[in-house]
Amino acid sequence: MTLTCVGIGPGGGDDMTLRARTALEAAELIVGYTTYVKLVQKDFPHKEYLATGMRGEVERCRMALERAAEGKRVAVICSGDPGIYGMAGLLLELAPEYPGVEVEVIPGVTAANGGAAILGAPLMHDWCSISLSDLMTPWEVIERRLTAAAQADFCIALYNPSSRGRQDYLQRACDVLLKARSPKTVCGCVRNVGREGEERRVLTLEELRDAQADMLTCVFVGNSQTCVVNGRMVTPRGYRLGDS
């Protein structure tokens, strides 16, 4: 039996790829984080659902694998892409405990992809994504990654920039980046990517340091060449070198 791990995009609905929608149509049971289940229920109202809250990832994946092992057609949904801060890795780690269950990973649109399109084209050159959540990654490691990315002049997509328990993490990250980046570096924020109440803002790195953000915000830090064109954030790829 095949269990599908499906990326539903940042907001479900129109954010889903045709392949993702087809997989959910074929599923008998859809398993996911409570918030993500709500994003797809309106499109698939007659499916069976199982949901767990935050920190329930292992339980959620085991429930899905157990039901798949029983012969159920199961889809585990993830916001964005299942292989980028999603459940694909955990499912593949656990799958050997459930002989006969094969995990198929179906890609989706990430918050970085979706947010970048809303801002303009900030990720046109080399870039990386860094999560500021220290639930599973020590802050010291996060800080080293921020430093390396800043020194290498990568464009950076920052996930999980702030929460109730770590309200100053975006500020701390900006302090790290400012050691290697100009305070005038072009940055952008998108909140509720692909969801109701979507918001975007273009600002500088020094302004970003004092900006408000939450877990629904994706933050973009440009490289040394990133600029603002008609209010949009653009990182040149180099196509116009020598353009007269």
Give pTM, 2 decimals: 0.93
Backbone angles phi, psi at 190, to 5 degrees: -130, 125
- The CATH class of 111-234 is alpha beta
CATH 3.30.950.10 in the chain, residues?
111-234
Measured at the CA of 79, the angle between CA 159 and CA 10, to 5 degrees, comes to 75
Structure confidence by residue, pLDDT tens digits, 165-205: 788 999 999 999 999 999 999 999 999 998 989 999 999 99
Q: Look at residue 244 in the predicted model and tell me its pLDDT.
A: 47
Structure confidence by residue, pLDDT tens digits, 110-152: 999 999 999 999 999 999 999 999 988 999 999 999 999 999 9
- Residues near 237 by Cβ (< 8 Å), separated by ≥ 6? 124, 125
- Residue 210's nearest CA partner among 176, 181, 168 is 168
Look up residue 132 and give its two tokens.
């500021």
Radius of gyration for the alpha carbons in the chain, expressed in angstroms and rounded: 19
Q: What's the rounded Cα separation, in Å, for the pair 78 and 33?
A: 8
Asked if 2 contacts 22 with a C-beta cutoff of 8 angstroms, the reply is no
The sign of the dihedral angle between the CA atoms of 204, 152, 215, 11 is: positive
pLDDT higher than 80, residue 242: no
Taking all residues of the chain, what is their mean pLDDT, rounded to a whole number? 95
CATH 3.40.1010.10 in the chain, residues?
2-106
pLDDT higher than 90, residue 206: yes
What dotted CATH number matches 2-106?
A: 3.40.1010.10
- Residues near 159 by Cβ (< 8 Å), separated by ≥ 6? 85, 111, 112, 129, 130, 131, 132, 133, 218
Structure confidence by residue, pLDDT tens digits, 11-28: 998 889 999 999 999 999
